[in-house]
Structure 1
Amino acid sequence: MGKEFRCGYGKFEVKKMLKNYLLFGLVALFAGLSLRAYAADDKFYSAEQKIVELKEEFNLPSLSVAIGLNNRLAFARAVGYSDIEKDLEANTDTQYSVGSLSKPMTGLAVARLVATGKLDLRQPVSDYLERPQYTSKFSIAKLAAHTAGVPHDTPERDLAEFIDVKDHQRPMDAFYVFDKHPLLFEPGTGQHYSSNGYILLSAVIEEASSKGYVDYLSSEVWDRLGMKATELDTSFAGQESEATYYSSVNKEGLHVRSLDKRDRSFLFGGGGFISTPTDLVRMAQATYGVGYLSVEALQALSMPVKLRSGEINEEKYSLGWRVASVKLGKDDKSWLALHHGGVTDNAATAYLLVVPECKASIAFATNYVPGQFWRMRGRITSILKEYIDIQSCDRWSFAQSSVDA
């Protein structure tokens, strides 16, 4: 029996799913179920079918997707294989490397410190860290928005990830991947995306919280938001539930396994976590309104940081998130959107989109990086739009356009 027939939902399973859907519709009508319940089921099957189509179109070993509405999980589904060779099917508990989606997690940790009065975003990083020597030149907000000038691509990173593989215990232990390199520009005059800068920001969290970085995320982010499957990507993490990663597709059309010898723990808040889409949409709940975070902290998440010139930074980056807008209806009205992607080269890609004013979010993860992977993000966004009731959305009264740093 071929892989296509057995893989999650093949053509046979899709036909069976649609048949069951029609049967459910007849039962619903005769049983007098509400049209609202029927519509919810309609959305579920539509989303499920689109996920199967995405998996096939992008030739993914597996694809996991979750949707959050208000404070509940509205949808979670995984199709395909977490390990092709072992015939292990992916499920909603399968963990994936989420790459730079570690940055929004770190942004929430910083926002939590702001909300609890332990951190001021305008403070210079040197108030918490004496090294590297340039930490007096930029604020925490500039560091978080990638406008500090900390370099990203350094040769030491490849050494840490592929050669000198070891579990890193503290962010400071990983400073060697960037601290001997000068800043790329005068802080506040430009923007350069830097995962190394988020290693530095992870160390700020340690000093401000008087806890280990991972300990603080565990107690103040993961535990509080119900994120039970998220952890630092050490050699002992994800042994039961993490997906096997694939780097390419060979001439025979078969997926090729990625390198086994690899360390991502050195990146900490820059890209060092494994998680699930279900956990990611639970994380998104922190952005929905005042409660977990203060008004000031929510503003920091939803407003891009300005450069010294007064212009908003090029990527519209805030505190660990990219800030955008999304149209939900047929009119020209746009809604605030927070989003971020994560790519672990030759291994995995993930994405999270949040519409805070509608208390809605969607996330996906897969164990392969397909060509033009970014096209998946727009398709995933269209699935979320089907779930959002615009009438339930509510404009934030405290929203502004940008924040000085």
Structure 2
Amino acid sequence: MRLFGCLVFFNFGLIGFFVSPIVVAQGSIDAETLQRMKELKEKYQLPSVSVAVGLVEEIVFAEAIGFSDIEKNRPATRETQYSVGSLAKPMTGIALARLMDSGQVDLQAPVSKYVKQPEYTQQFSVRELAAHIAGVPHNTAERHTAEFVDIKDHKSPFDAFYVFDSHPLLFPPGTDYGYSSNGYILLSAVIESAADMNYVNFLQSSLWDELGMKSTELDTFLAGREHEASYYQAIKPDGNFAISPVNRDRSFLFGGGGFISTPSDLIRLSRATFLEDFLSDDARLAMATPARLRNGEINSDRYSLGWRVAAIRLTEDAKEEWLALHHGGVTDKASTAYLLVVPECKASIAFATNYIPEKFWRMRGDMAKVLRGYINEEQCRRSFKAS
């Protein structure tokens, strides 16, 4: 067993699916959530924090406190956009699941069926690439150059291959786990090729538009001009925040971390994990099942299609655990965000902030505790069972 915040990870297989009924929020929980936000802002010394909670198909809580831009004295609002970093990966995983449902992608097929270069795409499957067990390197010098030196907007993931394609695989595919945002640039290209449509356009038409995500976009030079937060990289000795580099590009990351969004839009995204008419049972099962290495072992991070798979107890003394899908996002020297979904309860929580505090990951456990207060466990319904 491995603990992460209040999430408990177990080694279990997942089978079967049925839909949960409505879960109802409790009366005073919104006031408690707002108070918890104020405590987190003070504890972690955040310029701003934005939180949203979803139950079934409703956003039952969405608030922001603090400043999206300290210098301009501009308060954060629920419309404030943040760079959400690797929360682009769940978006990409859901897009992949939609292509699986339409028969345009075979998760077991080699990536070379859709993208021929680099040559090593013959060696691993789409599912292995999506689960970070293909061996594609993550930290490459070219990434720094793309983000901070040779700054330009990228239109297609194929245009960003230069950040990884000259580097060999880190290990034989399927033998280990190695988190790789570069691998998700390649996966974005798989989606673009299989859909026969620009990757971002496919996400716009098949995810963002259908789920009502009006504040999510590729982080290009023109994006977020009205609502995006300013970012801060450190707290100076005088107690003021030091602003982050403004001259940077994140569009090259595409599905690896290239988007800005809001917590409310992330809640809308989470609905894809339980809506009956959005994905098939098989697609939802694929997202809820950690990929296995070729020796049969579940990968060490319990990663599936763009999600980490976990279990959550809804009370401190509960013996029963419920399936949880979650992911964090960190944009270096700028922001951190998080999304947690309990599909069997049709419940989710998301947060974002424009600074990366020390031990930021502890905020994720705090968010899980907040979400538990909104869930009536008796109205959750078992969707996945241990095998």
Do both share a fold (TM > 0.5)? yes
CA distance in 2, matches of 1:49, 1:356: 26
C-alpha displacement at 1:220, in angstroms?
Answer: 0.3
Counterpart residue type for residue 327 of structure 2: H
Which residue matches 1:131?
117
2:339 counterpart (325, 342, 352): 352
Asked which structure has the greater RCO (Cα within 8 Å, sep 6+), the reply is: 2
Which residue matches 1:227?
213
Partner deviation per Cα, 1:21-51 (whole Å, 9 max, x = no partner):
xxxxxxxxxxxxxxxx9x8441110011101
TM-score (norm. length: structure 1): 0.88
Which residue matches 2:33?
47
Is 1:268 paired with 2:254?
A: yes
Is 1:144 paired with 2:135?
A: no
CA distance in 1, matches of 2:379, 2:270: 17
Counterpart residue type for residue 173 of structure 2: P
Is 1:86 paired with 2:95?
A: no
Give the count of matched residue pairs: 364
2:323 aligned counterpart, secondary structure: strand
Which residue matches 1:339?
326
Which residue matches 2:369?
382
1:387 aligned counterpart, secondary structure: coil
2:305 counterpart (319, 342, 345): 319
2:58 counterpart (57, 64, 72): 72
TM-score (norm. length: structure 2): 0.92
Counterpart residue type for residue 95 of structure 2: A
CA distance in 1, matches of 2:145, 2:337: 24
Which residue matches 1:394?
381
Which residue matches 1:108?
94
CA distance in 1, matches of 2:175, 2:277: 34
Which residue matches 1:21?
none
Which residue matches 1:156?
142
C-alpha displacement at 1:396, in angstroms?
Answer: 1.0
C-alpha displacement at 1:77, in angstroms?
Answer: 0.5
C-alpha displacement at 1:400, in angstroms?
Answer: 6.0
C-alpha displacement at 1:280, in angstroms?
Answer: 0.2
Contact residue 156 and residue 198 of structure 2 kept, 8 A: yes
Which residue matches 2:241?
255
Which residue matches 1:368?
355
Which residue matches 1:13?
none
CA distance in 2, matches of 1:371, 1:130: 41
Partner deviation per Cα, 1:320-359 (whole Å, 9 max, x = no partner):
0000000013321000000000001110000000000000
Residue correspondence of structure 1 range 4-23 to structure 2 within 5 A: none
CA distance in 2, matches of 1:331, 1:158: 45
2:185 aligned counterpart, secondary structure: helix
2:183 counterpart (170, 173, 197): 197
Counterpart residue type for residue 55 of structure 2: L
Counterpart residue type for residue 198 of structure 1: Y
CA distance in 2, matches of 1:97, 1:156: 20
C-alpha displacement at 1:66, in angstroms?
Answer: 0.1
Which residue matches 2:42?
56
C-alpha displacement at 1:290, in angstroms?
Answer: 2.9
CA distance in 2, matches of 1:109, 1:211: 12
Which residue matches 1:206?
192
Which residue matches 1:15?
none
Q: Which runs of 5+ in 2 are unaligned?
A: 1-23
Which residue matches 1:298?
284
1:67 aligned counterpart, secondary structure: strand
Larger Rg: 1
Identity of aligned residues (%): 59
CA distance in 1, matches of 2:236, 2:85: 25
Counterpart residue type for residue 333 of structure 1: E
CA distance in 2, matches of 1:50, 1:235: 34
Partner deviation per Cα, 1:103-133 (whole Å, 9 max, x = no partner):
0000000011111221110011000111000
Is 1:181 paired with 2:155?
A: no
CA distance in 2, matches of 1:191, 1:327: 27
Contact residue 58 and residue 370 of structure 1 kept, 8 A: yes
Contact residue 230 and residue 274 of structure 1 kept, 8 A: yes
CA distance in 1, matches of 2:372, 2:129: 33
CA distance in 1, matches of 2:276, 2:386: 16
Counterpart residue type for residue 215 of structure 1: N
Q: Which runs of 5+ in 1 are unaligned?
A: 1-36
2:373 aligned counterpart, secondary structure: helix
Q: Which has the higher helix share?
A: 1
C-alpha displacement at 1:296, in angstroms?
Answer: 1.2
CA distance in 2, matches of 1:366, 1:278: 13
Partner deviation per Cα, 1:164-190 (whole Å, 9 max, x = no partner):
000000000000000011111110001
Contact residue 68 and residue 74 of structure 1 kept, 8 A: yes
Counterpart residue type for residue 371 of structure 1: E
Contact residue 26 and residue 373 of structure 2 kept, 8 A: no
